[in-house]
Structure 1
Amino acid sequence: MRILTLATLLFATSVLANPIEKRAAAYYNPNINGGSELDNAGDGLGEPLNAGHQLLTRVIISGLSSSGVLNLNGLLNYAESLGYSEECFDIHLGGAQTANLGDGNGWTNQVIEIRQDYGSASVGTCLESLVGGNHFGAWQQNGSLASSGAWFLAVSEEEDVFEGHTIAPNGYNLGRNALVAAAVGSISYNGVTYTTTA
């Protein structure tokens, strides 16, 4: 399996409806303050959060983005513009994954799990739960040691329920590529226009 150097993606997302506010950094490398590039999936294993090592899949919504995407409602609206939504009926089976972003907050639960919605924000994620597809967990770097406001995403394509939602072969790269393909460019949703570069 070849790991692409293009895996060092950093989303710089702008919401045209709101002015971009100046902040200090796009993100801070979690390793600097004792954080980790992997989340904790609860079984001693983890998925890449993708912050410091250039060979890992990196998906970060930059802390230099418009404030309209640097809060939970903004992230969700942005995700919905890309064909993703909250979990089916807000039900999450299994424990929440944790991550340490090196921001002083220690290991914290993911803020939200977002799944591919197959064209229906209301029930499409139920289909994703059955047949598999793309999904991501999100954490925000906002502690006292490193408050960039950036969203760190653990993105992957998972298999269907009969395979136990395991990560598909090459699922980290496939998940990243699908998210990037949906995101790059300009799109409007719920009255907000997003312009995304990678």
Structure 2
Amino acid sequence: MHSLTRFLLAAAPTIALAIHIPRQGVDFVDPRIDGGSMLDDAGNGLGEPLNVIISGLSSSPVLTSEGIVNYAKAIGFSEECLGIHLGDPQSANLGDGRGPVNQTIELRQDYGDPDLGTCLESLIGGNHFRVFPQTGPLHPTNALFLAVSQEENVSQSHTISPDGYNVGRNLLVSNAIGDTSFGGVNYHTEAQNLTGLLAVGSGGVNHDIALDGIVTLLTVTITN
């Protein structure tokens, strides 16, 4: 067999694979590319950081409304106390073609009790996060952008704690990393810190609280 023929036959499988196997998605798309922001809109001209992103490459059930609630319960959060939400919802523009969209849900630290523990959080404060999915027509990644923060107790009107954005992010991530489970669903979570998405400092940030500029990307895999 001619050497050129042998070369083409040997190369053909590699060429075919490169052409016919498409990329299966992305972690997320930077909202700023198409006019969005990595700060949500707190309704006062300032914003709170979208400081945790659950990757669009996570197991798809995690990225649904029911799925994020079950995952939240696996890492120490649950729905608000008795379903009661105080305060106006915040919105975010994720640059996905929908413009500003209100949070889909707010989840609070449950202190080990997914049924009533968030009532305690409402009294004494703790960690909480708002969920914003990137699902618009420009960038339907299904990634979930989370605005995470540690807040003070009810006597302090639930204001954000000093350094509460960085602290809240770190607490959520430390609870999430590794293997967790809830409701018969087992999760494995890996984390990666990203820089360059959020500015360092307090410019435009609600409560004038400085950020360290880190966004943590979580990839969540259902293992059962």
Whole-Å separation in 2 of the counterparts to 1:67 and 1:128: 29
Whole-Å separation in 1 of the counterparts to 2:61 and 2:25: 17
Distance 1:23 1:87, change over 3 A: farther
The aligned counterpart of 1:54 is: none
Is residue 21 of structure 2 the alignment partner of residue 28 of structure 1?
Answer: no
Q: Report deviation, 1:144.
A: 0.3
Q: Report deviation, 1:23.
A: 3.5
Deviating beyond 6 angstroms after TM superposition, the runs of 4 or more aligned structure 1 residues are none
Amino acid at match of 1:107: P
Greater Rg, structure 1 or structure 2?
A: 2
Whole-Å separation in 2 of the counterparts to 1:188 and 1:68: 14
Whole-Å separation in 2 of the counterparts to 1:188 and 1:122: 16
The aligned counterpart of 1:39 is: 40
Please list every run of 5 or more consecutive structure 2 residues that lacks an aligned counterpart in the other structure: 1-22, 192-224
Normalization by structure 1: what TM-score? 0.83
* SS of 1:103 mapped into structure 2: coil
Whole-Å separation in 2 of the counterparts to 1:170 and 1:150: 26
Whole-Å separation in 2 of the counterparts to 1:133 and 1:188: 21
* SS of 1:78 mapped into structure 2: helix
Is residue 97 of structure 2 the alignment partner of residue 104 of structure 1?
Answer: yes
The aligned counterpart of 2:137 is: 144
The aligned counterpart of 1:69 is: 62
Counterpart of 2:147 (choices 142, 147, 154) is 154
The aligned counterpart of 1:90 is: 83
Whole-Å separation in 2 of the counterparts to 1:125 and 1:75: 16
The aligned counterpart of 1:7 is: none
Q: Report deviation, 1:43.
A: 1.6
Whole-Å separation in 2 of the counterparts to 1:36 and 1:25: 18
Contact 1:116 1:134 in 2 (8 A): yes
Q: Percent identity?
A: 59
Amino acid at match of 1:48: P
Contact 1:23 1:63 in 2 (8 A): no
* SS of 1:130 mapped into structure 2: helix
Q: Report deviation, 1:29.
A: 0.3
The aligned counterpart of 2:112 is: 119
The aligned counterpart of 2:157 is: 164
Amino acid at match of 1:83: G
* SS of 1:115 mapped into structure 2: strand
Normalization by structure 2: what TM-score? 0.74
**Per-residue CA shift, 1:102-131, capped at 9, x if unaligned?**
001110100000000011111111110111
* SS of 1:156 mapped into structure 2: strand
Amino acid at match of 2:70: N
Amino acid at match of 1:197: E
Aligned-residue RMSD, C-alpha: 0.9
Q: Report deviation, 1:193.
A: 0.8
* SS of 1:122 mapped into structure 2: coil
Whole-Å separation in 1 of the counterparts to 2:45 and 2:24: 35
Amino acid at match of 1:41: A
Whole-Å separation in 2 of the counterparts to 1:144 and 1:42: 25
Amino acid at match of 1:160: N
